[in-house]
């Protein structure tokens, strides 16, 4: 696996690793989720790493807040479950949660809470306010992680640009 973005821990060796990995064991090793390693995401990481980041931090936050950390972690891993590299358009932003949910349902048993998390993680861009507190946690975590990934991309671009000037 790998280090969660911004964390000093590798997920497998973090203090919460055993509990987190038990929560996602039926999902994380699947071909569908592992296949996300082959798709770039936010220009700085893979879709698998992005989903792992969202899943892990959502798990930690929900655990601390007394919410259902297991379902948040599972849904966090599945929230961007699509195997293509579409252009980032408004249509893609609106439609990919529905595609991810369809893909998740094809391969896994998905609870109503997990479906809500996956389908509504792009609110308010996509209509339909989240119905569960876990959905809000994953939604905000996803936006936070996306911001960090975008900053990493900008940092890499600046570093590359500086090397060109030398």
Q: How many structural domains does the chain have?
A: 1
The residue with greater pLDDT, 121 or 6, is 121
Q: pLDDT tens digit string along 26-73? A: 999 999 999 998 887 555 678 899 999 999 999 999 999 999 999 999
Q: How far apart are CA 106 and CA 123, in angstroms?
A: 23
Residue 79 maps to a domain = yes
pLDDT at 135 over 80: yes
Domain that holds residue 52: 11-165
Q: What is the mean pLDDT of the chain?
A: 85
Report CA 53 to chain centroid distance, whole Å.
Answer: 6
- pLDDT > 70: percent of the chain: 75
The residue with greater pLDDT, 27 or 16, is 27
- Domain of 44: which CATH number? 1.10.3210.10
Q: pLDDT tens digit string along 67-93? A: 999 999 999 999 999 876 656 666 656
Q: How far apart are CA 30 and CA 95, in angstroms?
A: 23
Range 115-125 average pLDDT: 94
Q: How far apart are CA 82 and CA 14, in angstroms?
A: 28
Residue 4 maps to a domain = no
- The whole-number pLDDT of residue 161 equals 56
């Amino acid at each position: 696996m790998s280090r969660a973005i911004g964390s000093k821990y590798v997920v497998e060796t973090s203090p919460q690793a055993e509990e987190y990995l038990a929560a996602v064991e039926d999902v994380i090793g699947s071909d569908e989720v592992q296949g996300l390693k082959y798709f770039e995401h936010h220009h700085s990481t893979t879709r698998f790493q992005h989903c792992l980041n969202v899943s892990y931090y959502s798990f930690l936050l929900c655990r601390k807040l007394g919410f259902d950390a297991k379902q948040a972690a599972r849904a966090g891993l599945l929230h961007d479950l699509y195997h293509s590299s579409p252009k980032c358009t408004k249509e893609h932003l609106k439609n990919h949660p529905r595609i991810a949910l369809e893909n998740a349902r094809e391969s896994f048993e998905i609870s109503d809470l997990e479906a809500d998390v996956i389908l509504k993680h792009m609110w308010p861009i996509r209509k339909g306010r989240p119905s569960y507190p876990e959905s809000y946690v994953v939604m905000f975590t996803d936006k936070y992680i996306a911001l960090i990934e975008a900053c990493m991309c900008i940092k890499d671009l600046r570093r590359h640009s500086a090397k060109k000037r030398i």
